Amino acid sequence: MKRLINDPYDVVEEMLEGYVLAHKDYVTLITEGEAQGRVVLSKTAKKKDKVGVIIGGGSGHEPLFLGYVGKGFADAAVIGNINTSPSPDPCYATAKAVNTGKGCIYLYGNYAGDVMNFDMGAEKADEEDGIRVETVTVTDDVISSENIEDRRGIAGMFFVFKSASAKADMGADLDEVVAAAQKCNSVTRTMGVAMSSATLPSKGGPIFEMEDGDMEIGMGIHGEPGVRRGKIEPADRVVDQIMEPILADLPFAKGDEVYVLVNSLGATPILDLHICFRRVAQILEEKGITIYKSLVGSFASSMDMAGMSVTLVRLDDELKELLDYPCDAPYFTQV
Amino acid sequence: MKRLINDPYDVVEEMLEGYVLAHKDYVTLITEGEAQGRVVLSKTAKKKDKVGVIIGGGSGHEPLFLGYVGKGFADAAVIGNINTSPSPDPCYATAKAVNTGKGCIYLYGNYAGDVMNFDMGAEKADEEDGIRVETVTVTDDVISSENIEDRRGIAGMFFVFKSASAKADMGADLDEVVAAAQKCNSVTRTMGVAMSSATLPSKGGPIFEMEDGDMEIGMGIHGEPGVRRGKIEPADRVVDQIMEPILADLPFAKGDEVYVLVNSLGATPILDLHICFRRVAQILEEKGITIYKSLVGSFASSMDMAGMSVTLVRLDDELKELLDYPCDAPYFTQV
């Protein structure tokens, strides 16, 4: 394992300690009571009379989730252990910490553990404090199920978080923020490829076995099975196999305008991502689909996993306005 | 090799093609004549009567250099092959492309090939077009030589580029921009650790051999020898060994205020970087050195190399103003 950690069971606590020291102008950690030292809170939280935006999930996907807590972005992130949902109590504590009376929205990837624990947090916030909490789970991973509501959330979460956060910051009410998140989720599609497992600190090695030189098309960010395993192919051929299911799924069609994200799962260099982007752009041009804007980098990782994913978001004027809305968080600043 | 590329000899061209498509609002590629398709030009270049800021060097260190071309940052980057200096002609062409009459500055890491080729570019710009071009080479890698002017440039380049770019954007003349770059370079110190070699596309494997589980303290971003190779140790112990030479070198002293960068060389996760940052912050607190601001992420990589570096910049009011100056480039935006 080529990792820089201390005690493998302290990685999340030590990361959070480092995080709030490194980004002290942006965030603090709620260390007391139900927050269990697992809530990263924006310094701008409650500074405005707005819907509270709460994101979260397991650790090991940085800069997801905590990197997107900041001005004009999420108000707080609830942090779980590596690849593990946060507990219900910190979810609940976060609703109390960011609610200004306009209610809160929970946004996270659609994984069973997260759904269970965030739902318990929402219930407690309602019962004990009368805080209305709504939830939108992100379901952008096209190959994870034929049934859209059963799909997992991966890198497309970034866009759903961004849209809802912008809507909230503009002063919208909770129903409108929920609608913005749902709208963005409904037009966001992602698919990835992995060439190695992430290494798990507590295991001291890879989470799952993968032969050197192999790739798996469609693999999830926790190593969930994809559609096909084989030898690593040229980048263009890999992108072709990812773009086909994405384009067919919504479907994206001639005349559409899209936001593109080419995301590194961790160890895949920015150099390679741009070679992949080049092919994405060629395919979109062939199909008559216009690229509005693009992001290329690591926005949702699986620690040191080698691989990447492509996300497309089909835009309309409202989504453009929301995604262009200025924000300033440690891992995404936009003017 | 776990890489996503096509023909290994086309990686730089294909990356550049993808780059200018992905970041079309920020940059273009000069494809004609002496630029040889290797000059990434800011869309804001020559829009203001200012000193032209030109950065560059070999590829394979992304987001260095091209990621820092944009508004309030560098006007252009000259791009070499992987780990190879750009040729003199594109260096020359870039001076012509960004000069507004106030002259230009070349900024790059202190490597023999870069020095030779950029110097030839500067000479040609002077002789053929009467453009005054000054140069500041970055020498932040503390262990690369006892002699400061012989040291290599690594992640600290980011701060030198940022300072000089801000000074130029404020309207300073060429001598003042040179002075700002020299000042920042004189107070910037970096040291790193590597746990693997990057893989070289043309070789189809690692650039150099490194046993799995080993680390090398002080290794350069091209695999230049460090001070000691041994088994990977706990993060805190690794950071201790990096911080000691950095602190002793300037030296940094009680009462100093610093900007901190904890930089991933490619494959080291953001999670681990924050565990390292935590120890950096502890050490600085013990020494009575104040952290002004911090950056944690991949700012100067070696493709998929596992490892990280720590950079400290000793600040004064002028450097704070320059480093805080707003900018908007694909890989660094600041409001």
Out of A129, A164, A187, pick the residue that ends a domain: A187
Tokens at residue B226, please? 């460090």
Question: Are A194 and A147 in the same domain?
Answer: no
Alpha carbon of A84 to those of A2, A59, A87, A134, B116: distances in Å? 22, 7, 9, 22, 53
Q: How far is the C-alpha of A163 from the C-alpha of A141, rounded, in Å?
A: 18
- pLDDT score recorded for residue B223: 86
Chains A, B: CB contacts under 8 A, how many? 204
Nearest alpha-carbon partner for B302 in B215, B204, B224: B224
- Total count of domains within chain A: 2
Peptide bond into A65 cis (omega under 30): yes
Residue B329 has pLDDT above 90, yes or no: yes
- The set of residues, in sequence order, having a beta carbon less than 8 Å from that of B276 and lying 6+ positions away, is A4, A18, B235, B238, B239, B262, B308, B310
- The length of chain B is 335
Nearest alpha-carbon partner for A135 in A174, A88, A86: A174
- pLDDT score recorded for residue A223: 86
Alpha carbon of B215 to those of A52, A63, A264, B64: distances in Å? 44, 25, 24, 23
Q: How far is the C-alpha of B43 from the C-alpha of A106, rounded, in Å?
A: 39
Please list the alpha-helical segments (H only) found in chain B.
Answer: 11-22, 88-98, 112-129, 157-169, 174-186, 235-249, 270-287, 317-324
Residue B220 has pLDDT above 90, yes or no: no
- Alpha carbon A280 to its chain's center: 21
- pLDDT score recorded for residue B142: 97
Percent of chain A with pLDDT over 70: 100
- pLDDT score recorded for residue B260: 98
Specify if A2 maps to a domain: no
Cβ contact A275–B5 (<8 Å)? yes
Cβ contact B272–A3 (<8 Å)? yes
Nearest by CB to B306, which of A2, A5, A295? A2
- Residues of B known to be catalytic: 61, 222
Express each pLDDT in A249-289 by its tens digit: 999 999 999 999 999 999 999 999 999 999 999 999 999 99
Question: Are A130 and A204 in the same domain?
Answer: no
In this structure, are strands B52-59 and B104-109 parallel, antiparallel, or unpaired?
parallel
Q: How far is the C-alpha of A165 from the C-alpha of A186, rounded, in Å?
A: 17
Percent of chain B with pLDDT over 90: 98
Q: Could you tell me the CATH number of the domain that includes residue B34?
A: 3.40.50.10440
**Averaged over B69-83, what is the pLDDT?**
98
- pLDDT score recorded for residue A120: 98
- pLDDT score recorded for residue B113: 97
**Averaged over B45-54, what is the pLDDT?**
98
Specify if B311 maps to a domain: yes
A chain contacts of residue B266, beta-carbon cutoff 8 Å = 267, 269
Nearest alpha-carbon partner for A56 in A13, A125, A15, A105: A105
**Averaged over B89-100, what is the pLDDT?**
98
**Chain A CA closest to residue B193:** A4
Express each pLDDT in A133-187 by its tens digit: 999 999 999 999 999 999 999 999 999 999 999 999 999 999 999 999 999 999 9
pLDDT-based confidence at residue B229 (cuts at 50, 70, 90): very high
Question: Are A241 and A137 in the same domain?
Answer: no
Percent of chain A with pLDDT over 90: 98
Please list the alpha-helical segments (H only) found in chain A.
Answer: 11-22, 88-98, 112-129, 157-169, 174-186, 235-249, 270-287, 317-324
Nearest alpha-carbon partner for B216 in B206, B227, B229: B229
Q: Is residue B53 within 8 Å of B136, Cβ to Cβ?
A: no
Q: How far is the C-alpha of A159 from the C-alpha of A138, rounded, in Å?
A: 10
- Can you state the angle between helices A174-186 and A317-324, rounded to 10 degrees? 110
Find which of B271, B280, B291, B294 to mutate to test the A interface (most A CBs within 10 Å of its CB): B271
Specify if B2 maps to a domain: no
From the CA of B3, how many Å to the nearest CA of chain A?
7
Question: Are A150 and A195 in the same domain?
Answer: no
Specify if A329 maps to a domain: no
**Averaged over A206-221, what is the pLDDT?**
93
Specify if B194 maps to a domain: yes
Residue B221 has pLDDT above 90, yes or no: no
Question: Are A246 and A282 in the same domain?
Answer: yes
**Averaged over B93-115, what is the pLDDT?**
98
Going by the DSSP 8-state scheme, the letter that residue B66 receives in this structure is G
Specify if B335 maps to a domain: no
Greatest alpha-carbon span in chain B: 56
Residue A222 has pLDDT above 90, yes or no: no
Tokens at residue B218, please? 């002080």
In this structure, are strands A327-329 and A332-334 parallel, antiparallel, or unpaired?
antiparallel
- pLDDT score recorded for residue A220: 87
Q: Could you tell me the CATH number of the domain that includes residue B211?
A: 3.30.1180.20
Going by the DSSP 8-state scheme, the letter that residue A86 receives in this structure is P
Cβ contact A274–B18 (<8 Å)? yes
Residues A28-64, buried b or exposed e (16+ Cβ, 10 A)? ebbeeebbbebbbbbebbeeeebbbbbbbbbbbbbbb
Question: Are A285 and A177 in the same domain?
Answer: no
Residue A107 has pLDDT above 90, yes or no: yes
Residue A246 has pLDDT above 90, yes or no: yes
Tokens at residue B16, please? 């550049």
Question: Are B24 and B146 in the same domain?
Answer: yes
Cβ contact A23–B294 (<8 Å)? yes
Tokens at residue A48, please? 């405005």
Q: Is residue B128 within 8 Å of B66, Cβ to Cβ?
A: no
B79 φ, ψ to 5°?
-110, 125
Q: Is residue A21 within 8 Å of A73, Cβ to Cβ?
A: no
Residue A221 has pLDDT above 90, yes or no: no
From the CA of A96, how many Å to the nearest CA of chain B?
27
Query: What is the complex's ipTM, to 2 decimals?
Result: 0.98
Tokens at residue A99, please? 């609610």
**Averaged over B97-125, what is the pLDDT?**
98
Find which of B2, B7, B9, B323 to mutate to test the A interface (most A CBs within 10 Å of its CB): B2
pLDDT-based confidence at residue B267 (cuts at 50, 70, 90): very high
Nearest alpha-carbon partner for B277 in A200, A23, A78: A23
Question: Are A46 and A171 in the same domain?
Answer: yes
Tokens at residue A68, please? 């997107």
Return mean pLDDT, chain B: 97
Question: Are B72 and B55 in the same domain?
Answer: yes
Q: Residue B72's domain spans which residues?
A: 8-187
Cβ contact B22–A262 (<8 Å)? yes
Please classify residue A82 by burial: count the beta carbons closer than 10 Å to its beta carbon, then call 0-12 exposed, 13-18 middle and 19+ buried.
Answer: buried
Return mean pLDDT, chain A: 97
Tell me how many helices (H) and strands (E) chain B has.
8, 16
- pLDDT score recorded for residue B141: 98
Cβ contact A5–B278 (<8 Å)? no
Question: Are B205 and B126 in the same domain?
Answer: no
Please classify residue A209 by burial: count the beta carbons closer than 10 Å to its beta carbon, then call 0-12 exposed, 13-18 middle and 19+ buried.
Answer: exposed
Query: Within 13 Å, how many C-alpha atoms sit on residue A87's CB side?
Result: 9
A chain contacts of residue B333, beta-carbon cutoff 8 Å = 333-335
Amino acid identity, position A12: V
Going by the DSSP 8-state scheme, the letter that residue B152 receives in this structure is P
Tokens at residue A270, please? 């920015």
Greatest alpha-carbon span in chain A: 56
Matching residue, tokens 């007391």: A32
Q: How far is the C-alpha of B292 from the C-alpha of B202, rounded, in Å?
A: 42
- The set of residues, in sequence order, having a beta carbon less than 8 Å from that of B19 and lying 6+ positions away, is A274, A277, B27, B29, B40, B66
Question: Are B19 and B150 in the same domain?
Answer: yes
Out of B129, B158, B187, pick the residue that ends a domain: B187
Specify if A332 maps to a domain: no
Amino acid identity, position B120: M
Residue A55 has pLDDT above 90, yes or no: yes
Q: How far is the C-alpha of A234 from the C-alpha of A212, rounded, in Å?
A: 16
**Averaged over B263-267, what is the pLDDT?**
98
Virtual torsion, Cα A37, A154, B62, B43, nearest 10 deg = -110
Nearest alpha-carbon partner for A316 in A171, A191, A179, A174: A179
3-state secondary structure of B149: helix
Matching residue, tokens 């698919």: A191
Out of A187, A207, A238, pick the residue that ends a domain: A187
Q: What angle do CA B193, B195, B197 make, to 5 degrees?
A: 105
Nearest by CB to B4, which of A213, A297, A308? A308
- The length of chain A is 335
Specify if B334 maps to a domain: no
Question: Are B71 and B177 in the same domain?
Answer: yes
Matching residue, tokens 């950095």: B246
